[in-house]
């Protein structure tokens, strides 16, 4: 976990914010699975809500239904399953709508106030029976300690839970913001990650909530790449109960900036953990670009480096093949002078410069190997043209990535 400014990291994930509870259960959506695969998140009041979605032209039925439900920017519950994406199904929309109706009945709220999400295998029929059987059980099991059960339920090939929460002061009031996400493969998001759910008790209007989500997503989830694939079901949602009692945030003032910082503290850590947990990954790759002439150039270069399959493979082998970094910088869709570029490799084991002014330097291969053998590797790139910067996250490319995806439907 990376500490960010003066926020107190706390337990509870999506249940850390006042008013929220959650539950998870094994609905046996995927045959022979023993893990939780269905989760429910609920707030005791109708929330202000915002969401961002995949830009893939093929989109899961839950996204279509959720978009319809959030036209009024409010929601009170989230129902989500793993094991089946409910995508490219002839009756997918009908199933997603029915899931919302069942959830609404169990919670005694309007169906339009339910967000629905799914993740898993694409193109397989999804039956309504598991939802009919399990949603009433989930509703009865809701707890402000239910975040772990819910977080487990959204995992597919993930190897670890991804959840964070912070406590902070806003306008003299104690506020909370927490989230959970899943995703370890098919990760190259555009406006979202695989699935992410964030809750807060801060009072903020719909316009500012969506603005904050969009701005922070752009520098967190949108800067993650595991394998270059953008999924069909990517979704990030943000719900606000307003229970903290602060003066409502209605403009880009100091309170808005503080809220955005808290949102970044949670989403940045969720993004890093998504990259760290890439399918088959052994190393987290972080690319920091500094001194670019604008933000777009910094982000473009950072993502280009993180996306390089050749570099990912070299990192797996702890091979300081810096030419692959320069190659990825060179094909980035941005304008800069490559003759000014310097590259350092950094980890807990030390720091070494492998390129300066666009050319290689004399460095110790043994030292570089030790640096690249750590489980967190940072590639620092200096463009020497301005004062803008960006960070992107990815992971190495291993034999296990191929094995996991070759056997995904097994």
Residues 38 and 92 in one domain: yes
Is the pLDDT at 198 greater than 80? The verdict is yes
Residues 95 and 67 in one domain: yes
Residue 235 gets which letter from DSSP? E
Question: Which tokens is 320 given?
Answer: 């300081």
Residue 410's pLDDT is: 54
Residues 88 and 64 in one domain: yes
Is 67 part of a structural domain of the chain?
yes
Q: Tell me which of 48, 152, 157, 193 is the catalytic residue.
A: 193
Q: 270 phi and psi, to 5 degrees?
A: -65, -40
SS3 call for 265 = helix
Q: What span, in angstroms and rounded, lies between the C-alpha atoms of 148 and 155?
A: 11
Residue 297's pLDDT is: 97
With beta carbons less than 8 A apart as the criterion, state whether 88 and 58 touch. yes
Residue 177's pLDDT is: 98
Q: Domains in the chain: how many in total?
A: 2
Is 37 part of a structural domain of the chain?
yes
Q: What is the DSSP string of 115-145?
A: EEEEEEETT----SHHHHHHHHHHHHH-BTT
Q: Given 276, 306, 335, which residue is the final one in a domain?
A: 276
**Length of the chain (residues):** 410
Give the model's confidence band at 191: pLDDT under 50 very low, under 70 low, under 90 confident, else very high. very low
Is 3 part of a structural domain of the chain?
no
With beta carbons less than 8 A apart as the criterion, state whether 267 and 221 touch. yes
Is the pLDDT at 8 greater than 90? The verdict is yes
Residue 170 vs residue 225, higher pLDDT: 170
Residue 185's pLDDT is: 41
CB atoms within 10 A of CB 197: 29
Question: Which tokens is 154 given?
Answer: 């959204």
Residue 193's pLDDT is: 40
The rounded mean pLDDT for the chain is: 91
Residue 263's pLDDT is: 97
pLDDT > 70 in the chain, percent: 91
Is the pLDDT at 256 greater than 50? The verdict is yes
Is the pLDDT at 62 greater than 70? The verdict is yes
Q: 341 phi and psi, to 5 degrees?
A: -80, 135
Q: Is the dihedral of CA 227, 61, 14, 69 positive or negative?
A: positive
CB atoms within 10 A of CB 160: 11
Residues 267 and 291 in one domain: no
Residues 242 and 318 in one domain: no
Q: What span, in angstroms and rounded, lies between the C-alpha atoms of 76 and 130?
A: 22
Residue 30's pLDDT is: 81
Q: What span, in angstroms and rounded, lies between the C-alpha atoms of 92 and 60?
A: 8
pLDDT > 90 in the chain, percent: 75
Give the model's confidence band at 228: pLDDT under 50 very low, under 70 low, under 90 confident, else very high. low
Residue 353's pLDDT is: 98
Give the model's confidence band at 33: pLDDT under 50 very low, under 70 low, under 90 confident, else very high. confident
With beta carbons less than 8 A apart as the criterion, state whether 280 and 398 touch. yes
Q: What span, in angstroms and rounded, lies between the C-alpha atoms of 238 and 51?
A: 6
Q: What is the CATH number of the domain that holds 331?
A: 3.10.20.340
Residue 87's pLDDT is: 86
Residue 351's pLDDT is: 98
Q: What span, in angstroms and rounded, lies between the C-alpha atoms of 395 and 366?
A: 22
Residues 291 and 238 in one domain: no
Residues 353 and 393 in one domain: yes
Type and span of the H or E element at 254? helix 254-276
Task: Find the mean pLDDT for residues 341-364.
Answer: 97
Give the model's confidence band at 409: pLDDT under 50 very low, under 70 low, under 90 confident, else very high. low
Residue 280's pLDDT is: 66
Residue 225's pLDDT is: 77
Rg of the chain over Cα atoms, rounded to whole angstroms, equals 22
Is the pLDDT at 57 greater than 60? The verdict is yes
Q: For residue range 144-183, what is the model confidence (pLDDT) as tens digits?
A: 999 999 999 998 777 778 999 999 999 999 999 999 998 7
Place of tokens 């229970």: 243
Q: 36 phi and psi, to 5 degrees?
A: -60, 140
Residues 127 and 83 in one domain: yes
Is 114 part of a structural domain of the chain?
yes
Q: What is the CATH number of the domain that holds 188?
A: 3.60.70.12
Question: Which tokens is 324 given?
Answer: 């692959």
Give the model's confidence band at 229: pLDDT under 50 very low, under 70 low, under 90 confident, else very high. low
Residue 231's pLDDT is: 65
Is 149 part of a structural domain of the chain?
yes
- Where do the H-state alpha helices sit in 182-253? 206-218
Residue 192's pLDDT is: 36
Is the pLDDT at 331 greater than 50? The verdict is yes
Residue 171 gets which letter from DSSP? T
Residues 339 and 264 in one domain: no
Q: Are strands 388-395 and 284-292 parallel, antiparallel or unpaired?
A: antiparallel
Q: Given 249, 276, 303, which residue is the final one in a domain?
A: 276
Across 22-36, 144-158, 270-284, least confident range: 270-284
Residue 105 gets which letter from DSSP? H
Q: Is the dihedral of CA 227, 398, 81, 222 positive or negative?
A: negative
Q: What is the DSSP string of 303-318?
A: HHHHH-HHHHHHHHTT
Range of the domain at 302: 284-406
Task: Find the mean pLDDT for residues 332-353.
Answer: 97
Is 50 part of a structural domain of the chain?
yes
- The closest of 200, 280, 295 to 242, measured between CA atoms, is 200
Residue 121's pLDDT is: 82
Residues 129 and 254 in one domain: yes
Residue 196 vs residue 399, higher pLDDT: 196
With beta carbons less than 8 A apart as the criterion, state whether 194 and 232 touch. no
Q: Given 276, 297, 318, which residue is the final one in a domain?
A: 276
Residue 186's pLDDT is: 40
Residues 310 and 258 in one domain: no
Q: For residue range 118-140, what is the model confidence (pLDDT) as tens digits?
A: 988 888 889 999 999 999 999 99
C-alpha angle 128-133-136 in degrees, rounded to nearest 5: 115
Q: Residue 193 catalytic?
A: yes
Please state the pTM of the whole predicted model.
0.88
- The closest of 289, 315, 342, 288 to 226, measured between CA atoms, is 315
With beta carbons less than 8 A apart as the criterion, state whether 374 and 350 touch. no
Q: What span, in angstroms and rounded, lies between the C-alpha atoms of 24 and 123?
A: 24
Give the model's confidence band at 226: pLDDT under 50 very low, under 70 low, under 90 confident, else very high. low
SS3 call for 44 = strand
Is 248 part of a structural domain of the chain?
yes
Residues 88 and 49 in one domain: yes
Is 2 part of a structural domain of the chain?
no
Give the model's confidence band at 401: pLDDT under 50 very low, under 70 low, under 90 confident, else very high. low
Is the pLDDT at 20 greater than 90? The verdict is yes
Residue 337's pLDDT is: 97
Q: Are strands 173-182 and 195-200 parallel, antiparallel or unpaired?
A: antiparallel
């Amino acid at each position: 976990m990376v500490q960010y400014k003066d926020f107190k990291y706390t337990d509870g994930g999506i249940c850390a914010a006042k008013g929220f509870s959650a539950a998870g259960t094994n609905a046996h959506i995927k045959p022979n699975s023993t893990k939780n695969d269905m989760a429910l998140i609920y707030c005791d009041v109708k929330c202000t809500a915002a969401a961002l979605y995949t830009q893939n032209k093929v989109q899961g039925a839950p996204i279509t239904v959720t978009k319809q439900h959030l036209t009024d920017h409010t929601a009170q519950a989230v129902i989500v399953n793993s094991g089946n994406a409910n995508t490219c199904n002839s009756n997918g929309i009908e199933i997603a709508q029915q899931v919302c109706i069942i959830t609404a009945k169990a919670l005694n709220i309007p169906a339009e106030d339910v967000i629905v999400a799914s993740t898993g295998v694409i193109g397989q029929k999804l039956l309504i029976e598991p939802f009919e059987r399990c949603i009433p059980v989930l509703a009865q099991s809701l707890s402000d300690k239910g975040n772990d059960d819910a977080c487990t339920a959204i995992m597919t090939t993930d190897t670890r839970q991804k959840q964070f929460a912070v406590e902070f002061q806003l306008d003299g009031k104690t506020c909370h913001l927490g989230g959970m996400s899943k995703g370890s493969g098919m990760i190259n998001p555009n406006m979202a990650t695989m699935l992410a759910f964030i809750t807060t008790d801060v009072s903020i209007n719909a316009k500012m909530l969506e603005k904050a989500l969009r701005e922070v997503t752009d520098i967190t989830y949108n800067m993650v790449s595991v394998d270059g694939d953008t999924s069909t079901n990517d979704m990030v949602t943000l719900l606000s109960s307003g229970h903290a009692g602060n003066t409502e945030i209605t403009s880009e003032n100091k309170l808005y900036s503080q809220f955005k910082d808290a949102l970044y503290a949670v989403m940045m850590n969720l993004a890093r953990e998504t990259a760290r947990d890439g399918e088959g990954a052994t190393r987290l790759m972080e690319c920091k670009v500094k001194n670019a002439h604008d933000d777009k150039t910094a982000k473009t270069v950072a993502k280009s480096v993180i996306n390089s399959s050749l570099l990912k493979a070299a990192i797996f082998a702890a091979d300081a093949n810096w030419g692959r970094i320069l190659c990825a910088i060179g094909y980035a869709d941005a304008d800069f002078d490559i003759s000014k570029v310097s590259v350092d490799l950094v980890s807990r084991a030390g720091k070494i410069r492998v390129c300066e002014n666009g050319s290689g330097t004399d460095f110790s291969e043994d030292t570089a190997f030790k640096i690249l053998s750590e489980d967190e590797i940072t590639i620092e790139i200096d463009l020497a043209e301005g004062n803008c910067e960006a960070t992107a996250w990815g992971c190495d490319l291993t034999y296990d990535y191929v094995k996991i995806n070759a056997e995904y439907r097994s």
